[in-house]
Amino acid sequence: MTSRIEIDLAAFRSNVRALSAIAAPARTMLAVKADGYGHGMIPIARAALSAGADSLAVLDVDAALEVRRAGLEAPVFAWLHGAETDFRAAIDADVDLGISSLVELRRVADAGGSRPAAVHLKIDTGLHRNGASPEDWPGLVTAALADDRVRIAGIWSHLADASPEADAVALGEFRAALAVATALGVPADGPERPIVHLAASSAGIRMPEARFDLVRFGIAAYGSSPFDDRTAAELGMRPPMTMYGTVIESRDGRTTFDLGAADGIPPLLLGAHVLVAGRPAGVLVVDVDTTTVDGKAEVGAEVIVFGPGDRGELTVEQVAAWAETIGDEVLARASTRIPRVYLDE
């Protein structure tokens, strides 16, 4: 056997279909940022669209253009922009752009392009990642309405997911921002009404009142729960990713396999177990390129670092708990030097 990461596309599509059913009648935007959370952006984007996702979310314009070069024509949304972002290429490729400030709006408008830029204006409702402040919001909306080089295609925000109480407050702030936009002249109905979106995985599942026109599902679709009190399995989600290593040395009661911190094995995994030749083995040392566990096994034996959990291996949620992090980080850190193998049964 060789080291590899297997991606179960059937499991992923099942997750997308289940989440889309939860969100309905709101549409589903599937986040494929961070190379599809380590699963491979283009294969996972194709699978998401085939399972009923209406649109895709990426982090930046470069990723959006990669989606377009792959021949995918579904709506694509990019929201984090640097000083060198090629907005003209994005506009020409029909990429929707998240806009958080007047400076960004002007940069997009000045970029030119073959059509008016489709912009989603963002109000900051407490996450403080980006977005216009309540004080700056009226000016941003007014400027977008007055500039025929842009089209207000959406109004959106992020929830901090700090607590149900905090999210309820943020939802109220978002509704207030929508009311301001309507009062300034943004259509509240009809074909020119912008798409309204707020919820990601957590609120998309637990806050029906936050779903609006679409839900941006991310980590839940990749088989890791966004909640502390419910696992992905309890939500009906199956992790698509399984990470396999190969034993390269076994002596003195210890076994070493060929994946380490550089491949995404969290150093804090000490004390947890992996499966070596189907048997649990406690993690003793996580080096840069290798990991050593207790017990002996034949060279070439298969190691399962994490997977769906069917065979007694850790799930990504359990690995994240050991590593004192979240499932998003464990998946996204899976090294691209490990070959991906796509299963579709």
Q: Are the beta carbons of 161 and 202 closer than 8 angstroms?
A: yes
Catalytically annotated residues: 33, 244
Angle CA 179–180–181, to nearest 5: 90
How many other CB atoms are there within 10 angstroms of residue 269's CB atom?
Answer: 22
Q: Are the beta carbons of 114 and 93 closer than 8 angstroms?
A: no
Q: Buried b vs exposed e over 146-179: b needs ≥16 C-beta within 10 Å?
A: ebebbbbbbbbbbbebeeeeebeebbeebbebbe
The CA–CA distances, whole Å, from 289 to 256, 292, 302, 312, 329 equal 10, 10, 17, 24, 19
What is the token pair recorded at 122? 């963002």
Whose tokens are 């959990």? That residue is 309
Q: Are the beta carbons of 12 and 308 closer than 8 angstroms?
A: no
Give the pairing type, strands 302-306 and 241-251: antiparallel
Distance CA 12, CA 31 (A): 13
Q: How many CA atoms lie within 13 A of 233 on its CB side?
A: 9
Whose tokens are 């996580």? That residue is 286
Q: Are the beta carbons of 157 and 170 closer than 8 angstroms?
A: yes
What is the token pair recorded at 297? 């096994």
Q: Please return the burial class of 81, using the count of CB atoms within 10 Å of its CB with bins 0-12, 13-18 and 19+.
A: buried
Q: Are the beta carbons of 247 and 303 closer than 8 angstroms?
A: yes
